[in-house]
Amino acid sequence: MSVSSRDALRAALMYGGLSLLWLLSTDYLLTSYFDGSEQLTRWQRMNGYIWVLFSAVMIFLVRARLFRFLGDGADLKRQREDQERLRQAGAVFDCTREGVLVSDRSGVIVHVNRALVEITGYTPEEVLGRRPSMFKSGRHGPEFYQAVFKSLQDHGDWHGEIWNRRKSGEIYPQWQTVRAITDAKGQVSHYVAVFSDISAIKKSQTDLVRLAHHDPLTDLPNRLLFTDRAEQALAFSRRHNCGCALLLIDLDHFKIINDSLGHNVGDLLLKAVGDRLQSVFGKNFTVARLGGDEFAVLAESCAQVAQAVVMAQQVLELMKGAFEVDKHPLFVSASIGISVFPGDALNAEQLLRNADSALFKAKSAGREGYALYTEELTTHAQYRVEVASDLRRALERHELRVFYQPVHDLSTSRLIGVEALVRWEHPQRGLLAPGEFIPVAERTGLIAEIDAWVLEQACLQMKQWQSSGIHLSFVAVNISSRLFTRPELYTLVSTVLTDTGLDPALLELEVTESAVMEDSHVALEQMHRLRALGLRLAIDDFGTGFSSLLRLKQLPVQKLKIDQGFVAGLPEDNDDAAIVRAVIALAQSMGLQVHAEGIEQVEQAQFLLDFNCDLGQGYWFGRPMPAKELDWQRAPAIRP
**For the segment 526-585, what is each residue's pLDDT rounded down to a tens digit?**
899 999 999 999 998 776 655 556 667 778 899 999 989 899 999 999 989 999 999 999
Q: How much of the chain, in percent, has pLDDT values that exceed 70?
A: 81
Higher pLDDT, 590 or 366: 590
Contacts of 573 (CB under 8 A, 6+ apart): none
Q: Span 271-293, mean pLDDT?
A: 87
Q: Span 122-148, mean pLDDT?
A: 91
Q: Span 115-142, mean pLDDT?
A: 91
Task: Decide: pTM greater than 0.75.
Answer: no
- Of 7-11, 67-71, 251-255, 379-383, which has the strongest mean pLDDT? 251-255
d(CA 123, CA 126): 5
d(CA 634, CA 414): 5
pLDDT at 462: 96
pLDDT at 364: 82
Closest CA to 401 of 370, 432, 424, 376: 424
Q: Span 115-126, mean pLDDT?
A: 91
453 burial class (0-12, 13-18, 19+ CB within 10 angstroms)?
A: middle
Closest CA to 322 of 272, 288, 258: 272
d(CA 107, CA 170): 24
Q: CB of 634 within 8 A of CB of 415?
A: yes
Q: CB of 221 within 8 A of CB of 227?
A: no
pLDDT at 183: 85
- Of 97-111, 372-386, 414-428, the least confident: 372-386
Going by their DSSP bridges, the two strands 109-112 and 430-432 should be labelled as unpaired
Q: Span 227-241, mean pLDDT?
A: 86
Closest CA to 309 of 358, 364, 260, 367: 358
pLDDT at 38: 45
- Of 233-242, 268-277, 326-335, 388-397, which has the strongest mean pLDDT? 268-277
pLDDT band at residue 321 under the 50/70/90 scheme = confident
* Residues in the chain, overall count: 640
- Of 133-137, 235-239, 457-461, the least confident: 235-239
Q: How much of the chain, in percent, has pLDDT values that exceed 90?
A: 38
In 3-state terms the chain splits into helix, strand, coil percentages (rounded to 5) of 50, 20, 25
pLDDT at 82: 53
pLDDT at 40: 47
Q: Span 239-267, mean pLDDT?
A: 85
d(CA 367, CA 356): 14
pLDDT in tens, 1-13: 544 455 545 554 5
Contacts of 161 (CB under 8 A, 6+ apart): 173, 174, 175, 176, 198
pLDDT at 453: 94
List beta partners, residue 402: 422
Higher pLDDT, 627 or 10: 627
Is 500's pLDDT higher than 80?
yes
- Of 81-90, 116-125, 139-148, 389-398, the least confident: 81-90
Q: Span 403-428, mean pLDDT?
A: 94
CA dihedral for 41, 46, 47, 52, sign (positive or negative): positive
pLDDT band at residue 14 under the 50/70/90 scheme = low
pLDDT at 604: 94
pLDDT at 97: 80
Q: Span 451-458, mean pLDDT?
A: 95
Closest CA to 423 of 412, 435, 415: 435
Q: Span 49-60, mean pLDDT?
A: 57
pLDDT at 250: 93
pLDDT in tens, 182-209: 888 888 889 999 998 988 888 877 777 7
pLDDT in tens, 365-381: 888 888 888 766 666 66
pLDDT band at residue 599 under the 50/70/90 scheme = very high
Under DSSP, the state recorded for 240 is H
Q: Span 112-119, mean pLDDT?
A: 89
pLDDT at 184: 81
Q: What is the mean pLDDT of the chain?
A: 82
pLDDT band at residue 64 under the 50/70/90 scheme = low
pLDDT at 44: 54
pLDDT at 561: 92
Q: Span 6-32, mean pLDDT?
A: 51
pLDDT band at residue 30 under the 50/70/90 scheme = very low
pLDDT at 253: 85
pLDDT band at residue 417 under the 50/70/90 scheme = very high
Is 17's pLDDT higher than 70?
no
d(CA 464, CA 476): 16
